[in-house]
Chain A
Amino acid sequence: MKRKLLSLAAMAACAFAGGAQAQISDGIVKIGVLNDMSGLYSDITGPGSVSAAKMAVEDYIKASGSKLKVEVVGADHQNKPDVGSNIARQWYDTDKVDMIADVPTSSVGLAIAKISADKGKLHVNSGSATADLSGKACNANTIHWAYDTWMLANGTGKAIVKSGGDTWFFLTADYAFGHALERDTEAVVVKNGGKVVGKVRTPFPSQDFSSFLLQAQASKAKIIGLANAGGDTTNSIKQAAEFGITKGGQNLAGLLVFLPDVHSLGLNTAQGLMLTETFYWDLNDNTRAFTKRFAAANGGKYPSMVQAGVYSSVIHYLKAVDAAKTDDGTKVAAKMKELPTDDPLFGKGSVRPDGRKLHPAYLFQVKKPSESKGPYDYYKLVATIPANEAFRPLAESECPLVKK
């Protein structure tokens, strides 16, 4: 009798003490932040994302009083799918990682999504652009956070056409991502009454765009769409300034531009550029407060949309782990889609059945040097696109999870 009571008491104690612990593998929730630590995207993601993830863990545990033990590790995939796959496999197989976050570079993101599904773990992607992650490459273990090519094309494309930029010339980086971005944006431009008067494929990667910019200039299109990323974008913008493109009355549309890119270009060169992002440090008090803490921990650098996405996605992930009382990838993914999201950086939103996270998007224009009050004060808000319009409608998604 006493024994039974004792064991009952013990069981009860377990149930109360480690309610969530009961089904957490190895007792620790381990998050792996996989991104580019030393290359093209290291400023947009890199160590900053790891820092953002750690801040998210801290903030979540403080705010919710959760008893979860969480560990964050980081690694560099060097923008190569094979390196990334290797690390992911090793993380999942031997290092007990439960969730992989971030992952810029679409080719790597796609690989990680597949591996995560194969092993029943979870991938919450904030860094890759390809809308295929919630489209034809979707799976039950992958959630696509901060942004995607559809949102970029739609946000920037539609808003620009509506504001008068109805003739377009594309400078497209000649690889899969560039083609996808061009295709999505062209569709949006045409749908909204605009016309694409020309396009040129630039070898990827390139240093010199002068020849292509001249062609764009000769086309007399009102808008020159830059369907490229990273170094290609910053070089084309810089060279466009040199060749008097904006002085001649044409405007540049940066289809994938991040705050750190504008920072490295300088306002002199980047002024007037139109772009769409889902996060900016100066949007409201919450974003400003986060930015202050982030900058203090990251040598004065302000967070990019991707790093903010990592913060936000980790918070929601932990919420879901607690609610589902497990860190099993598939179950947590389902829980993340069930629970509405709410965090200081992206506000209220939700995760759709196809894995697409919804939140508002913002059309920005880069300020003139005279309009800026200090470093990183670069954007002025032109328009806000509500969450239900910013991303590809569920009906149009090619995701096998939702197609009938």
Chain B
Amino acid sequence: MTTVSTPSFKTQSFTHQWVAFAIMVAVLVIAPIWVYPIFLMKVMCFALFACAFNLLIGFGGLLSFGHAMFLGTAGYAAAHAAKVWGWNPELAVLFATGCSALLALVTGSLAIRRQGIYFAMITLAFSQMMFFFYLQTPFTGGEDGIQSVPRGKLFGVFDLEQNTNMYLFVLTIFLAGFAFIWRIVHSPFGQILKAIRENQDRAISLGYDTDLYKLIAFVISGALAGTAGATKSLVFQLASLTDVHWSMSGEVVLMTLVGGLGTLFGPVVGAAVIVSMQNYLAQLGAWVTIIQGVIFVICVLAFRRGIIGEIANWIKKPL
């Protein structure tokens, strides 16, 4: 599966990526002065979600249509841990990430056996099963979701009910997650993953256990998606069924596509675009769905590289 378009690049210098990273950090640090912080935190959570998803599709070549199950599982796990068990936020997030990783391990080991569209369909099936499971089990509160989730005190000291503290917490998590993905992509593991994406048979003939690599990528992707979900439910103090619905899986695909499949910064930009659109066009009701559909169509037909992908192609450096 090689036709995911990635920009061709001639050098291996990463200066451009460092510059982009610096810009991103600067924007995220300064923006709260003008922009509603809760909105920015939402963008960061979805950006991390999209980055995690992109690790799997952009670099691993595996399209998962069920990533919502990781977002939602972690969301519920963190909400439950914080509200019912009274855990501190950092423990809640870690616990939730662990839950998602476990789910990814189980579903991944079954899904990895198949390729391409069948892989996508299995992930969709698992996601639907999780959806119906969460719909029925009492602890999730069904339609109501888990509400009034306390943000708690970070390390028992910093009160996260204060928006500023919460913002720094979310920012740290996002940057850490992003850095982790960056590291993976630029590591030998990442190279092998890309090799598997380009030509699985050749990778096998070189002696790599491709299934294991794919599984590891799947678990990391699922775990980080979980981190995003857990953080999100602490930001909004709510975990609901929206997070496990298949349309959420569709949205993360859209974000990654718009931003640029297979680029590092693409999903961040894509998430920012889509979340902003949903926020500022909320008045228009059904128009948001229509516009999202149009963006999908345009991206697929004419804009396959996505925003960052086009920029990267223009400057002939990977982003």
A and B touch in the complex (CB under 8 A): yes
Contacts of A184 in B (CB 8 A): none
Tell me whether B39 is interfacial, beta carbon within 8 Å. yes
* Cβ contact within 8 Å between B39 and A80: no
Per the 8 Å Cβ criterion, residues 109-144 of B in contact with A are: 132, 135-136, 141-144
* Cβ contact within 8 Å between B283 and A76: yes
Tell me whether B155 is interfacial, beta carbon within 8 Å. no
Contacts of A82 in B (CB 8 A): 145, 236, 238, 240, 242-243
Tell me whether A382 is interfacial, beta carbon within 8 Å. no
Which of B240, B279, B283, B285 is A81 in contact with, Cβ under 8 Å? Answer: B240
**CB of B150, distance to nearest CB on chain A (Å):** 11
Q: Render A85-127 as a binary contact track against B, CB cut-off 8 A, 1 for contact.
A: 1110110011000000000011100110010000000000000
Contacts of B197 in A (CB 8 A): none
* Cβ contact within 8 Å between B144 and A81: yes
Contacts of A76 in B (CB 8 A): 282-283, 285
Distance A110 CA – B240 CA, assembled complex (angstroms) = 13
**CB of B78, distance to nearest CB on chain A (Å):** 14
How many B residues touch A, CB cutoff 8 Å? 25
CB nearest neighbor in B for A76: B285
**CB of A103, distance to nearest CB on chain B (Å):** 13
Which of B143, B147, B240, B286 is A177 in contact with, Cβ under 8 Å? Answer: B143
Contacts of A74 in B (CB 8 A): 283
* Cβ contact within 8 Å between B144 and A176: yes
* Cβ contact within 8 Å between A107 and B145: yes
Tell me whether A75 is interfacial, beta carbon within 8 Å. yes
CB nearest neighbor in B for A117: B148
Contacts of B147 in A (CB 8 A): 81, 107, 110-111, 114
Per the 8 Å Cβ criterion, residues 147-181 of B in contact with A are: 147-148
Which of A83, A111, A204: most chain B Cβ within 10 A? Answer: A111
Tell me whether B36 is interfacial, beta carbon within 8 Å. yes
Tell me whether A264 is interfacial, beta carbon within 8 Å. no
Distance A86 CA – B145 CA, assembled complex (angstroms) = 15
- Chain B residues proximal to chain A, CB less than 8 Å: 36, 38-39, 42, 132, 135-136, 141-145, 147-148, 236-238, 240, 242-243, 279, 282-283, 285-286
Extra contacts besides A85-B238, A111-B147 (10): CB < 8 Å: A76-B282, A81-B144, A81-B238, A81-B240, A82-B145, A105-B143, A107-B240, A111-B238, A175-B142, A176-B142
- Chain A residues proximal to chain B, CB less than 8 Å: 37-38, 42, 74-76, 80-83, 85-87, 89-90, 93-94, 105-107, 110-111, 114, 174-177, 203-204
18 CB-based A-B contacts, threshold 8 Å: A38-B286, A74-B283, A76-B282, A80-B240, A81-B144, A81-B147, A81-B238, A82-B243, A86-B38, A90-B36, A94-B36, A105-B143, A107-B144, A110-B147, A111-B147, A174-B135, A175-B142, A176-B143
